[in-house]
Amino acid sequence: MNKLTPAELALLPKLDRIELITVRLPFVQPFATSVHSWAVKEALLLRIESGGVVGWGECVADPDPYYSYETTQTARHIFKDFLLPQVEAGISFAELGERLRPVRGHGMAKAMLENALLDLVARQRGVPLHELLGWPGRRIQSGISIGIKDSIPELLSAVEEALRRPYHRIKVKIMRGKDVAWLRALRAEFPQIALMADANGDYRIEDAPLLRELDAFNLTMIEQPLSYSDIVQHAALQRELATPLCLDESIHDLDDARAALSLDACRIINIKQGRVGGLLESLRIAAFCHERGVGVWSGGMDETGIGRAFNLHLQAAAGFTLPGDTSETSRYFAEDIVAPGVVLADDGFIEMPTGPGIGVQVLEDRVKRYELERERLS
């Protein structure tokens, strides 16, 4: 049995107040993938209080099932009826994890609960979240994810703007019909940038000849080209390509990561902490990959400033060697619900939030301004 970390050994406090809050923040501009386009961020938040100290969690699920079978409504149901009853003052995070194990899947609901509790405990101890997790803070590399555009000139313009900030890594969404020609134009215009393509599962193994054409563009990686539920066919595809594959939606926990690497289904893994069940499972996956020399990075889910702060603290861990999907707040929201927001320094790095817990102040007046629903639980 692996030695438990200090965070896993930390004990849960008695909760005095528990609230589920749904907020809806308009995006500055719609964000489109090969699957769907979103104009607003509807987020389910968890607010917990103990002894006057407040901790926050954010569920990364959407209100619709286009990215995942989990939605804000399924997360609400699973949290209330199956996860919250397992929370008990005085048990450790490791014990809570064992209690939640019989609940199959629903990593996004689990992450919301675990993260809120970690934030609360760190705030009670007066330490930054990354310190509770066992890592010193550091400046974080930035990355941007650019959604599907209507035309190649529009895509080139979006990338040019991102490079002026300057982001360390550019990711562009691709789909059938918006792939080879679009990446060729990007490479011709920007021959030296760190560039990757994200397909969100839009291709099939029969598309291997087309995907082989992407080898010509010196991509850092191709992210999730095939089905979300597949690992075996990604292994077959990786043998056909020189470009490293990165698995995202196929990885739900450490066991999936083990399977993917044992089959050489990918050479890079995108860890979305909200998808894999929270920060603690994310750290297990990152440590496993780090031991095997496999690069990992932190994916984003267009989170509010609450979820974005969790992602920053996660990236302080040693295994996160590649720039993640952490972008400036202003790219998504004209007004966020936390302060300070994410801002890039002149060299493109992001400063780690300071202060206890996730290190940002949740502006509860703004939460109420964008609030759709609030439910107090016992």
| Residues assigned a catalytic role | 173, 272
C-alpha 305/C-alpha 360 separation (Å) is 8
> With 0-12 CB in 10 A as exposed, 13-18 as middle and 19+ as buried, what is 249?
buried
Which stretches does DSSP call E strand in 51-142? 53-59
Q: Which residue has the tokens 């400033």?
A: 305
Token pair for 116:
């809120």
C-alpha 225/C-alpha 199 separation (Å) is 5
User: What are residue 193's phi and psi, to 5 degrees?
Assistant: -75, 155
Q: Taken in order 115, 128, 98, 104, is the CA torsion positive or negative?
A: positive
Cβ atoms of 284 and 273 within 8 Å: the answer is: no
Q: Which residues contact 229 (CB under 8 A, 6 or more apart)?
A: 250
Cβ count near 107 (within 10 Å): 24
Give the residue from 236, 252, 12, 244 showing the smallest Cα distance to 121: 12
